[in-house]
Amino acid sequence: MVGEVTGWPLYHGTRADLRRGDLIEPGRLANFGAAPRTANHVYFTRTLDAATWGAELAAGEGRGRIYLVEPTGPFEDDPNLTNKKFRGNPTKSFRSRSPLRVTGELTTWQGHTPEAVQARKDGLARLQQLGDVVIDD
């Protein structure tokens, strides 16, 4: 499976200002979930739509950014999405305890409408109030 995954562009959506060659590492503040918490994994995806949501929903200030990344170690399907919210792995989302290396930045991408982003944020806030937001990290 590694050949299949690494044969495609891989993306990471965030608000962090990074440069080519930088490492995105576990052990930093998480972009999602109950804040503040330290992330045990770094997350990436093969789909631009999932990376776009990552950039738009990430915690912090600044504009959303989408980076091209490469894993530096083993990785697995993201259990927060795979067979939990979606059957299989349609978002092609993965996680790793090893860093991701930034290989570039996608500077032109189309975000979701402000209404769609707000609706997603409202839905996540509602789930958090109900105690239904559990991040398996």
Ranges of each domain in the chain: 2-130
Whether the per-residue pLDDT at 17 is higher than 60: the answer is yes
pLDDT (0 to 100) of residue 1: 43
Question: What sign for the dihedral angle of Cα 72, 14, 124, 8?
Answer: negative
CB-based contact 5:76 (threshold 8 Å): no
42-84 per-position pLDDT tens digit? 999 999 999 999 999 888 888 999 999 999 999 998 887 666 6
Q: Tell me the CATH class for 2-130.
A: alpha beta
Token pair belonging to 8: 């495609």
Whether the per-residue pLDDT at 30 is higher than 60: the answer is yes
Question: Any residues with CB less than 8 A from the CB of 109 and at least 6 apart, and which?
Answer: 48, 51, 52, 55, 66
Half-sphere exposure of 3 (CA within 13 A, CB side): 0
pTM above 0.95, yes or no: no
